[in-house]
Amino acid sequence: MVSLHQLQEVPSKSMILLAGPPGAGKSEFCEKAILQNLAIYRHIIYLMTECDPSKVEESLKERGLGEIEQGLLNFVDAYSETVGLLVMDRSDTVTADCASLSSIGIAISKLQERIGKKDILLVFDSLTSPYLLNGPEVVRFMRLTLSRFAGEGNSVLVCFDEGCSKEEDLVAMMSLSEGVIKLEKKGSRRMLNVVKHPKVEPTRIEVPRDKIPEKLWDMGMWRQEVMTIALRSMKGESWVQFRTEVGSFVNLFWPNFVRWSNILWDPKRFPKMMYELTKYSEDPSNYDFNMVSIFPWHKRLLIKLFMPKSFSKVKDMKKILESSFKSQHSLLRIATVEYRDDISKTDEHYLRFYEGYECWGLENVDASLGIMKPAMMAGSFKGMEELLGGPERDWNAIETKCIGLGDPYCEVKFVPGEIEDLKDSLEKDSLVIERVNDRLMDHLMEFLLQDKPLMKRPTWGSDVHIHELQHVTASPNVDARLRMVFRMGGARAGKMLGEALLEAALSEQEVVRRMITLLNQCKVGKITLADTIRMKENCERFGMKTGEPSCYFTTGFFNGFFSAVKNQHVKETKCIAMGDPYCEWEFR
């Protein structure tokens, strides 16, 4: 099945015409295409005729764009000068006059020469204004300038408003283009009609809306069979082996590496979004079935007779924790959990976590670090109260002590309601984020260059269950803005690793070998590297179902790494989330 992702990755030596009525979503398509191609370190020239670069940047940032490598994203401002606005002096921008096609052509050539590489993506949004100012000359401009630019090993995505030109001129534009995609509006629905395309058969697809679904269960990760396995842990049974070749656990370094690479990319929004999404995902009242119904009848009877319906009182919260959460944390190797009944009180409960995976190895970074585990338990408390027939209320959690603050353990306060300082605690200071990432890179280089263990806890060792990682990596399936964060967070992390290993005076071959060693040690998946990169049982997408290649962090990581080491880029062409037997990346 054709995906939006495939259409937004414009093939080399091709010009794609995106046509549709005003307001159909052409600019949105262009912005998503830019973000997707930036994530594979492709140079972009964004030519605007209807707004200035600052407005475009603002929109891209809303979609997840953070700080990117200088020279990767370039602008042609063919708007400000045309309408007589003040032109801001920017090093990444060349100006042009929308009324002069030769002026636009010269601006494109300047940036092409400045970039000095092929495989540039030129996004032209839009050709409507030049047409209204120059008429049929635009057709000649497409043939002589845009087609030639594409023919030199680059790509062009050009927008045009249907209904503003002579029919014969639009037909000529379509004939000059290797691909034609028409955007159509039908009430509140938007459709993409692929008329022709160099890589895709003619088809029609609906443009999905970016929103959190009513049931996160629909995303395919928290399916009934997975929950059934989770419930076995509450009955004292061992966890079923999720991955037959790699095992059910990953090195605790990898979840922290993924999470903090993404926080480094988007420090303000990412922690808050992950807290809310994790709470939502762990709330069993959001599932399409009552999880209590999975238990055998005698267990359901005991739950009904003896489980408290409200977790307000100290004795009731202690019973809940003793009956379920302690054993679950042990089986998943999350932490040792202790309920602080000495300081807890009605509707204010404290839990202490020893050797928690989320903070281990990040001592004394001057900040509390727990986001995922507090959010998971808060979501569970909310949903379990409702399922047991108790009150419907929103639980929240905040760390009061943390290894990151220099404490010997982490301690979390849980309350049914809002916590005044919670939002501020989730938004991490830039210095703290850099300090955490520096610490992670130190662990990484000590392992790769000095053969020291990555991270190891005295009681729980170096592994944590894949379930803890997938609470992070499932989130881009829910919110499209997070896809950019994962792609670019992974790309930056891979680039930093590649550059650090090259600085250690290792050969390219040895740098690649050590990267593979890292992924194998972390049990990310079972990797083979030849003409392609092939990975079985990739932890990022194992057990999930999507309609397109969706290993966002892993793909970004490979792109950043190989761009630094070999000046190569990769594209994911197969994915276990699509039903393929393995994930595979081709070199571009």
Per-residue three-class SS string for 117-148:
CCCCEEEEECCHHHHHHHCCHHHHHHHHHHHH
Q: Look at residues 536, 525, 539, 537 and name the one whose alpha carbon lies nearest to residue 473.
A: 539
Per-residue pLDDT, 72: 93
Q: Look at residues 99, 102, 95, 196 and name the one whose alpha carbon lies nearest to residue 144.
A: 102
Q: State the DSSP H helix or E strand holding residue 315, giving kind and residue range, or none if neither.
A: helix 314-320
Q: Look at residues 176, 181, 139 and name the one whose alpha carbon lies nearest to residue 9.
A: 181
Q: Report the b/e string of 529-568 with b at 16+ CB within 10 A.
A: eeeebbbbbbbbbbbbebeebbbbbbbbbbbbbbbbbeee
Q: Please answer whether residues 506 and 499 qualify as being in contact, where contact means their C-beta atoms are separated by less than 8 angstroms.
A: no
Per-residue pLDDT, 217: 36
Cα distances (angstroms) measured from residue 182 to each of 23, 48, 415: 13, 20, 51
Distance (Å, whole) CA 560 – CA 297? 53
The single-letter DSSP state of residue 417 is: S
3-state helix, strand, coil in the chain (%, to 5): 45, 20, 35
Distance (Å, whole) CA 125 – CA 47? 6
Distance (Å, whole) CA 264 – CA 434? 7
Structural domains for the chain: 4-206 (3.40.50.300), 216-240+268-427 (3.30.1380), 448-587 (3.30.1380.20)
Give Cβ neighbours of residue 476 (< 8 Å, ≥ 6 apart): 482, 483, 485, 486, 550, 552
The alpha-helical segments, DSSP class H, found in 122-269 are: 128-134, 137-141, 147-151, 167-176, 224-234, 253-265
pLDDT in tens, the chain (588 residues): 577 778 888 999 999 999 998 878 899 899 999 998 888 889 999 999 988 888 888 888 888 787 788 899 999 999 887 766 777 788 999 999 888 999 999 999 999 999 998 999 999 998 998 998 889 999 999 999 999 999 999 999 999 988 888 899 999 999 999 999 999 877 777 889 999 999 999 999 887 665 444 333 333 344 444 444 444 444 444 444 578 899 889 999 999 999 999 898 778 788 988 998 888 877 766 655 455 555 555 555 556 656 788 999 999 999 888 877 777 788 889 999 999 999 999 999 999 999 999 999 999 999 999 999 999 999 989 988 888 888 999 999 999 999 999 999 999 999 999 999 998 899 888 889 889 999 999 999 999 999 998 889 999 999 999 988 988 898 887 777 788 788 878 888 998 999 999 999 999 999 999 999 999 999 999 999 999 999 999 999 988 888 788 899 999 899 889 988 998 888 899 999 999 999 999 997
Per-residue pLDDT, 304: 62
Q: Please answer whether residues 255 and 468 qualify as being in contact, where contact means their C-beta atoms are separated by less than 8 angstroms.
A: yes
Distance (Å, whole) CA 98 – CA 48? 9
Query: Sign (positive/negative) of CA torsion 82, 83, 87, 90?
Result: negative
Omega within 30 of 0 (cis) for the link into 126: yes
Q: Report the b/e string of 328-362 with b at 16+ CB within 10 A.
A: bbebbbbbbbebeeeebeebebbbbbbbbbbbbbb
Task: Tell me, yes or no, if the pTM score tops 0.85.
Answer: no
Cα distances (angstroms) measured from residue 577 to each of 286, 442, 539, 561, 583: 23, 33, 11, 23, 8
Type of residue found at 441? M
The total of other beta-carbon atoms located within 10 Å of residue 180's CB is 21
The alpha-helical segments, DSSP class H, found in 41-100 are: 53-62, 80-83
The single-letter DSSP state of residue 288 is: S
Q: Per the structure block, which two tokens stand in for 267? A: 């420090």
